[in-house]
Structure 1
Amino acid sequence: MAEYNSSNDVMELSEAVKKISNNAQDVFVNKENIPKVAKIMMRHLLKNVKDFHAYNDRFVRPFAFLREFEDTKRANWLFVLHTLNFSLWHRRGSRQWKVNGEKGYFGLCNALKRATEEETPIWDPNYYAKITPDAFEDIFRSDDGETHIPRLKLRLMILHSIGKILLDKYQGTFLECIKSSDYDADKLMKLLSDEFSSYRDEIKYDGKRVRFLIKARSLVTDIWTYFNEKPEIKLNIKELMSTTFIDYRIPQVLLQSKLLRYSDDLTKRFEINIEPLLHESREEIEIRGCSLFVIQEICNELQRLSQHYIEQEPILKDLNISIVVDNILCALLFVGTINKSLNAYPLHCIETIYY
């Protein structure tokens, strides 16, 4: 996993997640299952080698509205989408906010698509930096006309803030942020963290700062994906980064695959307690750290395995490990969500603006 701008008070993410997994009290990594899962992934790749590029060349992201956008609008739209993509849930037992039948991230995509079709320039900071509460609420109106997008006032405040920064410092476009970063992914993540507080996803662990930066990583990889065919905009990414933890349900996939295990106390807490975990709580840090450690170890094992099959399938020389692992995990998430098999595993919610 790429990291940047290290200093004595900052722990590298790869080092941090290993330490978190070694010291966790309620979340445990089943290390013996990592090679098994990596072998399953490799067999899947070899069996479907004709679809190699679909797994390998881009992060699969389901967006509702992008293809016909020109570059500036596309970059701005992705920035708004990722900025607003956090804590899209209501407490268990209450009615969920839905747009066109979808809740959560897909509901957010649908609301932004609907606004665009209604010629509301939600992607334009000239508009959203001054958007009124009533106009904002209308953009994210629900199917039932009664529920509201979660944390509506907070989202409005964040949107005002990022819009003002873009207008004051970056000529009113996120493309200028990309240019200011010299089209370098690590520099762009640093810019996002430095300039926009809702992207400053870091914690204190063992006396040092740990920069998760999940939202920034996800935005950067999506910028890379959607501008991959444009050499003049394409980001330079030294090491592609796992972004799977942007979805709260990925730990359920890891539990189902027997890569993670929760303590009985934590499992029971998720079953009977509707209170969300707090950002920087021990339990949240353990879930995030152990999840990312597992994914990192799968990537390492898949890389090792690929060396045994390169002669058989030379295309594996171009294997983008993080992309492949993320895409397969997201496919498992999709299947598990559709057939509801993930419902048997604990699902947590987190009170945070960072993902």
Structure 2
Amino acid sequence: MPVAEIRLAADRVLDSAEFINRTSQDVSVPLNGVKAAAQKIMQRMQQIGYSTAEWKKNTLTPSVADSAAIEWIFVVDSLNFSFWTDKPQANQYTVSLDGQAYRGYWTLCAAVNRAMREGIPITDAAYCAGITREQVSYIFRTDDTETQEPIPMLDERVSVLNEIGRVLLEKYQGKFSNVLRQAQGSAQRLVEMVVRDFTCFRDEHMYMDRMVCIYKRAQILAADLWACFEGKGQCQFADIDNITMFADYRVPQALCHFGALNYSERLFNYLECKQNGELLESGHPWEVEIRGNSIWAVELIRRQITALGMHVNAILLDFYIWDYAKEFADEMKGIPIHLTRSVFY
């Protein structure tokens, strides 16, 4: 892969975010809000000593940085999309493990770990390539099939598993560790290879007659590997600071809470009413504006914190803001979340 191509690929997401911010009709990034958010976030991160070590503190993520962890992270990040629900908690998709009930993203981790304990080779490329709908349904079964909803987008998850298994077998001897090896210590190159070879990671959309790139799951894949290995060994990415935040639906809510993201009145009202239950389609201009401006807002927060003397990258900022949004969810109930059924987040 030519060096020039790698350089362009590394800038595509941030270039897209800046373009989206510059041309947005209904989402903006107030600079005063960015400065205030940067101060608050920096102080809090320093106070609690927030670092990559936070990633391993959850009992569901790999505790040992080894080849098995690499394959686990790839499978989980391949399936890391669409866990939101509009159901009451009692009816949400739920997976229990070791006496703990999980919802949202953590159901994915719990279900994968449960499958591995049962001897199901969910991280094996050959198994994924031939996995059936029935097998995926069993692996991601909910605690109570009578009262709880099933995992969203089951058919899409089958398709994703089939694709990643097939591509790994055809191009990488069945191991994602070989993709990582070919990236040669570059997070940018890793993201480029992933979006090139695995279509399910190709988070691209037309906006204002221009193709924009967001690459949420491809970038979080590089970030999770970096966090798991704490920036060492195979995941000592010299260019890790070029990775942007991971535009989903929870972080934009928190950015609005911090005052670093602002919605127009018509967009806010739409999200609050949700048009009688209608969802924003993937690639809708409003969805692209929310996600693109979230990337740009975090980038400006990162620059502001750096100017204040603390080194931080967009990955740690995203991890921190996402954790904050979950911890203080009750405080943000007045800020509507945009909801889109998508394989991209």
TM range (shorter): 0.7 to 0.9
Deviation at 1:195, TM superposition (A): 0.5
Counterpart for residue 259 of structure 2: 258
Corresponding residue number in structure 1 for 2:141: 141
Q: Following superposition of structure 1 onto structure 2, how do residues 1-355 of structure 1 map, counting pairs within 5 Å?
A: 4-6=6-8, 12-46=12-46, 48=47, 52=49, 55-57=50-52, 60=55, 62=58, 64-68=60-64, 71-91=66-86, 95-100=91-96, 101-146=101-146, 147-228=149-230, 230-245=232-247, 247-273=248-274, 274-306=277-309, 316=310, 319-337=311-329, 340-355=330-345
Q: Which residue of 2 aligns with 1:309?
A: none
Amino acid at match of 2:265: D
Q: Which amino acid aligns with 1:44?
A: R
Q: Distance in 2 between matches of 1:328 and 1:91?
A: 25
TM-score (structure 1 length as normaliser): 0.84
Over residues 5-64 of structure 1, what are the superposed CA-to-partner deviations in whole Å (9 max), with x where a residue is unaligned?
Answer: 539xx9843333233223322222222121122122333355x3xx54xx2445737461
CA contact (8 A) 2:202 2:215 kept: yes
Closer, same or farther: CA 71–16 of 1 in aligned 2, 3 Å: same
Please report how far the alpha carbon of residue 239 of structure 1 lies from its aligned counterpart in structure 2 after TM superposition: 2.3
CA distance in 2, matches of 1:108, 1:141: 10
Q: What amino acid is aligned across from residue 182 of structure 2 in structure 1? A: S
- Distance (Å, rounded) in 2 between the aligned partners of 1:334 and 1:44: 15
d(CA) in 1 for partners of 2:343, 2:307? 36
Please state whether the residue corresponding to 1:288 is helix, strand or coil.
helix
Query: Which has the higher mean CA deviation after the structures are superposed, 71-80 or 216-225?
Result: 71-80
Residue 123 (structure 1) shift: 1.1
CA contact (8 A) 1:56 1:320 kept: no
C-alpha displacement of 1:284: 0.6
The superposition leaves residues 286-334 of structure 1 with CA deviations (integer Å, 9 ceiling, x where unpaired) of 101111111111111111111xxxxxxxxx5xx2332442343133213
2-side partners of 1:331 and 1:202: how far apart?
26
Q: Are the aligned partners of 2:245 and 2:315 in contact in 1 as well (CA < 8 Å)?
A: no
Change (3 A) 1:249 1:131: same
Q: 1:67 to 1:59 in 2, by over 3 A?
A: closer
Deviation (angstroms), 1:96: 2.5
TM-score (norm 2): 0.87
Matched residue SS, 2:230: coil
**Residue 164 of structure 2 contacts residue 198 of structure 2 at CA under 8 Å; is this kept in 1?**
yes
Q: Percent identical across equivalent pairs?
A: 29
CA–CA separation in structure 2 for the residues paired with 1:329 and 1:343: 16
Partner SS for 2:241: coil
RMSD (CA atoms): 2.5
Q: Distance in 2 between matches of 1:327 and 1:249?
A: 11
Return 5+ residue gaps in structure 1 as ranges: 307-315
User: Would the alpha carbon gap of residues 142 and 56 (structure 1) be closer, same or farther in structure 2, given more than 3 Å must change?
Assistant: closer
Letter of the structure 1 residue corresponding to residue 267 of structure 2: L
Q: Identify if the C-alpha distance between structure 1 residues 267 and 230 changes in structure 2 by more than 3 Å, giving closer, same or farther.
A: closer
Number of corresponding residues: 331
Change (3 A) 1:45 1:11: closer
Distance in structure 2 (CA, Å) of the matches to 1:284 and 1:229 = 32
Looking at structure 1, the residues matched to 6 and 340 of structure 2 have their Cα atoms a distance apart, in angstroms, of: 26
Whole-Å separation in 2 of the counterparts to 1:290 and 1:229? 28
**Residues 275 and 4 of structure 1: CA distance in aligned 2, closer, same or farther (over 3 Å):** farther
- How far does the alpha carbon of each residue in 1:215-270 deviate from its partner, in whole angstroms, 9 at most, with x for none? 1000001111212365255333252423342x421111111112222222222222
Aligned-pair distance for 1:163? 0.3
Please, which moves more after superposition, 268-277 or 216-225? 268-277
One-letter amino acid of the structure 1 residue matched with residue 337 of structure 2: L
Q: Does the CA-based 8 Å contact 1:56-1:323 persist in structure 2?
A: no
Q: 1:81 to 1:235 in 2, by over 3 A?
A: same
Cα separation, 1, equivalents of 2:168 and 2:29: 41
Contact 1:63–1:109 (Cα < 8 Å) also in 2: no
Q: Name which of structure 1's ranges 21-30 and 99-108 shifts more when overlaid on structure 2.
A: 21-30
SS of 1:204's partner is: strand
